[in-house]
Amino acid sequence: MSVVTALDRPTGAIHALPSPYLLFLGDTVEMGFAKTALGLRDWAPDRCLGEWSLPSARVTTGLPRLSPAEAAAKGARAMVIGVANPGGIIPDSWMPELLAAIDAGLDIVAGMHARLSSITPLAEAAASQGRQLIDLRVPPADLAVASGLKRSGRRLLTVGTDCALGKKYTALAIARGLAARGVDATFRASGQTGIMLAGQGIAIDAVIADFAAGAVELLSPAAAPDHLDVVEGQGSLFHPSYAPVSLALLHGSQPDLFVVCHQPGRETILGHPGFRLPTIEAVIEQTVMLGRLTNPAIRCAGISLNTGDMTAEAAGRVIEETAAQLGLPAADPIRGGDAFERLLDACQA
Amino acid sequence: MSVVTALDRPTGAIHALPSPYLLFLGDTVEMGFAKTALGLRDWAPDRCLGEWSLPSARVTTGLPRLSPAEAAAKGARAMVIGVANPGGIIPDSWMPELLAAIDAGLDIVAGMHARLSSITPLAEAAASQGRQLIDLRVPPADLAVASGLKRSGRRLLTVGTDCALGKKYTALAIARGLAARGVDATFRASGQTGIMLAGQGIAIDAVIADFAAGAVELLSPAAAPDHLDVVEGQGSLFHPSYAPVSLALLHGSQPDLFVVCHQPGRETILGHPGFRLPTIEAVIEQTVMLGRLTNPAIRCAGISLNTGDMTAEAAGRVIEETAAQLGLPAADPIRGGDAFERLLDACQA
């Protein structure tokens, strides 16, 4: 089997974002809708200069409040829409602030369903000022189908029993934990929030199905033999809507290692009450079986548990029980501690 | 688990084609590149009025030769580009004939990578004449993510050990064979040639990954309890580039039955010599394991063998051996015969 090297592959289709950012909170009144901004504050503080919002907003990241013009004067290069609303739309009430950001010389970055570039006043202002409107959900152009060829470097993928239980933050925490140990590790973002955090990446769920595995190959390209890409997973092989995206990430990243992410206590697939959550064992078995296609040496490095809604004591207990039951390291990367160090040991091995 | 009924689902995103067709062969000199036109002649003769080509063409379907104006006078409603060339492009030399077709009142249908609508003279002519340019690879708009909800009616999916070995023609032959027995069966096309044959469908490989399984739900909607949709599969779960598309078809169609398509003698995945072809047994096992997610009752109805390049004797032998080895009906639907009747029995059961 031939091996692809780093020089063989183009990178044009990967979004690369201008930073630092001004985080825009719109008129959001519920913290739950400001998840993206809060994630950026916590995980990419050096990319975030400040926040801006409408007077009616009731949420804050605690970062300095800066108008677009003030942020631009301090070196900001983009205003990032850091909130979502139920329809994923951009309300008219946000327009004056978005236009002010463009006038101040900032690009606009969004990961919503609504496309910035399809809003005429924004498109016109950006064109006349020479600014970019970056829609992270717009499928990249110029993708190729996956080659399936083995490539140099090592890769780790986070997979899950479901959506929305920590695959992104697990990948970030592992990449940072290993980097702190001196490992040459890179977080590879596959979703819009991850792309904002990393400053680059491809929203794999927005790619045409034929090219999805190929886009993952591009996202985690051939690298030095000791290099480790820690790839953000999406969805679950057991998710009735998103399993094809999860499979594209598995086949395309050709992972040597994977970490299963799970939220103890979750019993059914989010939004699909007719589907029972798979066991962690079932996820390991199916990931190995399908992942073997592009990497026969694939294996599970350990388990990441999202214990955010548990007491420290209960979390410690479920982490210990999970590790004992599966014979694999288990940890909540957000809690860290010895358990997480053991998980990092396994990812480094 | 709730059940979706036929009335719950929209159908706007499904391509519905104007017919009958005039088949356009361009300046093609090799029969291999006229596969689409030949398939239309053989499998959808009542949709095909005739053929048209440039003087330099060296291929023919044997259908009456009609200019676009003659075809329009006989009732044709569209000119279908029935040939491919290596780059999937539309050469300048075809333009006068395409424009003549538009002038004659025909729509143009193509399934190539190049988009009709991005060729300015065609787009302008179509707009001024009120004609449609139908690009079957353009992802449909207004798709939704899969619901995963069990829906009424029965479905059969053709799956494969690889690409390009008979999933489309197997599905067509089964749908027709069952219809001839009085079963209420419909062929559901998931690729561009299939859509031309059926007159409607969705090219699933052109859909955004997030919506791929949802598009398959739309393609094979809820139906009367006795109705059988025979869904054209794509790719293979063992294909390093296209497995996500195959999985979307499996999860989205929720098949009660599947038929494994295989070409005896093929040893590696087409275009990927580093990947050994899976065994039929492995395909059955993996299809059942993954298909259970949306239909726990999924089972294999039998095997379709593409024996086009074998003698009748050798074909008969491999069909018999395969059936004996797997304990399942096996047939080459193109050859038909008793073996195919037994496969139809199993699909009807």
B244 and A213 within 8 Å at the Cβ level: the answer is yes
CA distance A253 to B130: 46
A242 and B145 within 8 Å at the Cβ level: the answer is yes
CB A208 within 8 A of CB A342: no
CA distance A303 to A267: 17
Chain B residues closer than 8 Å to A208 by CB: 139, 205-209
Residues 6+ away with beta carbon under 8 Å from B82? B23, B24, B25, B34, B36, B37, B38, B40, B51, B61
* Maximum C-alpha span of chain A: 61
A292-326 pLDDT, tens digit per residue, is: 999 999 999 999 999 999 999 999 999 999 999 99
Chain A interface, mutation test: which of B289, B293, B294, most A Cβ atoms within 10 Å? B293
Chain A interface, mutation test: which of B118, B241, B245, B292, most A Cβ atoms within 10 Å? B241
How far does the CA of residue B272 sit from the closest CA of chain A (Å)?
8
How many C-beta atoms surround the C-beta of residue B35 within 10 A?
Answer: 14
The torsion angles phi and psi of A229, rounded to 5 degrees, stand at -90, 130
A139 and B208 within 8 Å at the Cβ level: the answer is yes
Which residues share a beta bridge with B15? B201
Strand order through the sheet with B257-262: B185-188, B228-231, B154-160, B257-262, B299-305, B330-331
Q: Among candidates A314, A324, A223, A211, which has minimal Cα distance to A264?
A: A314
CB B85 within 8 A of CB B33: yes
How far does the CA of residue B209 sit from the closest CA of chain A (Å)?
4
How far does the CA of residue A139 sit from the closest CA of chain B (Å)?
8
Identify the H or E element spanning A175. Answer: helix A167-180
Domains of chain A: 19-131 (3.40.50.720), 150-348 (3.40.50.300)
Q: Beta strand A200-201 with A15-16: parallel, antiparallel or unpaired?
A: antiparallel
pLDDT band at A16; cut points 50, 70, 90: confident
Chain B interface, mutation test: which of A238, A293, A295, most B Cβ atoms within 10 Å? A293
CB A189 within 8 A of CB A218: no
A293 and B275 within 8 Å at the Cβ level: the answer is yes
Q: Among candidates A188, A155, A95, which has minimal Cα distance to A291?
A: A155
CA distance B269 to B240: 9
Please tell me whether residue A80 adopts helix, strand or coil conformation: strand
* Block residue for tokens 């190049």: B114
Q: Say yes or no: A192 contacts chain B, CB-CB below 8 A.
A: no
CA distance A298 to B221: 37
B293 and A242 within 8 Å at the Cβ level: the answer is no
Q: Say yes or no: A1 contacts chain B, CB-CB below 8 A.
A: yes
Q: Say yes or no: A148 contacts chain B, CB-CB below 8 A.
A: yes
From B209, B237, B238, residue closest to A205, measured CB to CB: B209
CB B246 within 8 A of CB B234: yes
CA distance B79 to B94: 12
Cα torsion through A117, A122, A125, A131, rounded to 10: -50
pLDDT in tens, chain B (349 residues): 344 544 344 455 688 899 999 999 999 999 889 999 999 999 999 999 999 999 999 999 999 999 999 999 999 999 999 998 777 789 999 999 999 999 999 999 999 878 999 999 999 999 999 999 999 988 777 789 999 999 999 999 999 999 999 999 999 999 999 999 999 999 999 999 999 999 999 999 999 999 999 999 999 999 999 999 999 999 999 999 999 999 999 999 999 999 999 999 999 999 999 999 999 999 999 999 999 999 999 999 999 999 999 999 999 999 999 999 999 999 999 999 999 999 999 999 8
CB B204 within 8 A of CB B249: yes
Q: Say yes or no: A2 contacts chain B, CB-CB below 8 A.
A: yes
State pTM to two decimals.
Answer: 0.94
Please tell me whether residue B295 adopts helix, strand or coil conformation: coil
How far does the CA of residue B20 sit from the closest CA of chain A (Å)?
30
CB A120 within 8 A of CB A114: no
ipTM over 0.95: no
Q: Among candidates B114, B111, B133, B129, which has minimal Cα distance to B35?
A: B111
CA distance B167 to B155: 15
